[in-house]
Amino acid sequence: MSETVKTECFDETPTRVVSGEGALCSSRACLVGMDISRALIVCGENVARLPQIEEFRDACMGSIETVVFAGAEPDPTDGNVLEGGALGRKFDAEAVIGIGGGSSMDCAKAIAAEIGSEGWIAAQDRPGEPVEVEQEVVPIVCVPTTAGTGSEVNPFSVITFTETERKLVLNHESLYPCCAVLDPTLLVSAPKMVRVAAGLDALTHAVESYVSVNANAGTRKWAGESIRGVAKYLTRVAENAKDMDAQAGMQRAAMVASLSFAQTRLGIVHAMALPLSALFGVPHGVANAILLPHGMSFNCEADPEGFMAIAAHLGVEVQDMPVAEAAATAPEAVATLAREIEAPATMGEAGVEESAIERMADDAMQSAHVQVNPRKISREDVVGIYQAAM
Ligand SMILES: [Fe+2]
């Protein structure tokens, strides 16, 4: 491996994290070390065209045969998983490498399970029931091309089931990637709005996890590191995609937020963001960006010390302020950051219709994230937050 590439292990995940410029090509050695000779690459159409993918396949030549399944759609479907699984079986894939944003990585995880049991994905369309995996799952390697979701170190795979129109989070320990490859050079091609939305998604993960009712000292350590990373690097990444130090910093911030929220789950912002995406196609990170300051303002009174700490991680000088006042600066600091990087500020700007608020409130209240929110929340509260964000 090159000197700039390092490998880390964490107590919170079985995933080994390989990071640094050139990490993707270096990961070939890990695959060879695992006796992998055939790997299925899962990605979307745009990522399939990146020169780095060609370079990686060239680097693998002679030791690892690769085939590309470029059919992972944004919000991947059960159909994508079936198709990718069939290709993986035909190719006799010994590993699946998911390269892309959260959608491609989530799709890759489900494909790895589908390869070992044809039709497995169809049987997972049952909300509220645990995911069952009895078959062997080939090793999963995840390679993020955005700094946001943190899917590369967690066992979650969000799949849309087309026939029932359900979007479910499949969660099973066999869906943990064995290896995450954080190569900042892969983040350069994403357009500004994708970088902004992904970064604010990572911040939302960290903030919601920090004040979750399930938070503990261990999860707050990672969530705090993530918030500091976003505060330090997101503006730089938004301004200049080629700022490699900042890209690597954001990549780390997104990853460590996932180490935290995989244990705590999220909160009201994620619960309320889902209907914006489902009904109006608002990208997940944009939906979070709009709702985050409002959700934080609502939650402040439930955990003022927690929000005071969040404000401090964001860089606000809170030490001489009364706790409640310091806590209130946290949502303000997030709103200021979002404004600076030109994130959409209202649901109206993102194309959401006010007439849908009642329906969205019903949907948001069904989310499991509501249960771990630090402040008890009613349907009326949700309607009020949506109205404030309109
Ligand atoms: Fe998210």
**Fold of the CATH domain 6-186:** Rossmann fold (3.40.50)
74 alpha carbon to ligand 1 midpoint, in Å? Answer: 14
249 alpha carbon to ligand 1 midpoint, in Å? Answer: 18
261 alpha carbon to ligand 1 midpoint, in Å? Answer: 10
123 alpha carbon to ligand 1 midpoint, in Å? Answer: 25
Tokens of 234: 């997101």
Per-residue pLDDT of the chain (390 residues; tens, 9 = 90+): 455 899 999 999 999 999 999 999 988 888 998 999 999 999 999 999 999 999 999 999 999 999 999 999 988 999 999 999 999 999 999 999 999 999 999 999 999 999 999 999 999 999 878 999 999 999 999 999 999 999 999 999 999 898 987 888 899 999 999 999 999 999 999 999 999 999 999 999 999 999 999 999 999 999 999 999 999 999 999 999 999 999 999 999 999 999 999 999 999 999 999 899 888 989 889 999 999 999 999 999 999 999 999 999 999 999 999 999 999 999 999 999 999 999 999 999 999 999 999 999 999 998 889 999 999 999 999 999 999 999
Q: Is the entire prediction scored with pTM above 0.75?
A: yes
How many CB atoms sit inside 10 A of residue 121's CB? 24
**Residue 178 near residue 16 (C-beta atoms within 8 A):** yes
335 alpha carbon to ligand 1 midpoint, in Å? Answer: 17
348 alpha carbon to ligand 1 midpoint, in Å? Answer: 21
104 alpha carbon to ligand 1 midpoint, in Å? Answer: 15
214 alpha carbon to ligand 1 midpoint, in Å? Answer: 17
224 alpha carbon to ligand 1 midpoint, in Å? Answer: 17
65 alpha carbon to ligand 1 midpoint, in Å? Answer: 34
Q: Measured between alpha carbons, how far is 101 from 285 in angstroms, rounded to an integer?
A: 12
CB within 8 Å of 41: residues ≥ 6 apart: 53, 57, 66, 67, 68, 69, 97, 99
Position 1 scores a pLDDT of 46
**Residue 160 near residue 75 (C-beta atoms within 8 A):** yes
320 alpha carbon to ligand 1 midpoint, in Å? Answer: 33
How many CB atoms sit inside 10 A of residue 289's CB? 29
304 alpha carbon to ligand 1 midpoint, in Å? Answer: 23
Q: Would you list the domain boundaries of the chain?
A: 6-186, 191-389
270 alpha carbon to ligand 1 midpoint, in Å? Answer: 6
- Ion ligand 1: residues, Cβ under 5 Å: 201
Position 3 scores a pLDDT of 58
32 alpha carbon to ligand 1 midpoint, in Å? Answer: 33
**Fold of the CATH domain 191-389:** Dehydroquinate synthase-like, alpha domain (1.20.1090)
Q: Measured between alpha carbons, how far is 85 from 82 in angstroms, rounded to an integer?
A: 5
75 alpha carbon to ligand 1 midpoint, in Å? Answer: 13
92 alpha carbon to ligand 1 midpoint, in Å? Answer: 33
Phi, psi of 61 (to 5 degrees): -50, 135
149 alpha carbon to ligand 1 midpoint, in Å? Answer: 6
150 alpha carbon to ligand 1 midpoint, in Å? Answer: 9
223 alpha carbon to ligand 1 midpoint, in Å? Answer: 14
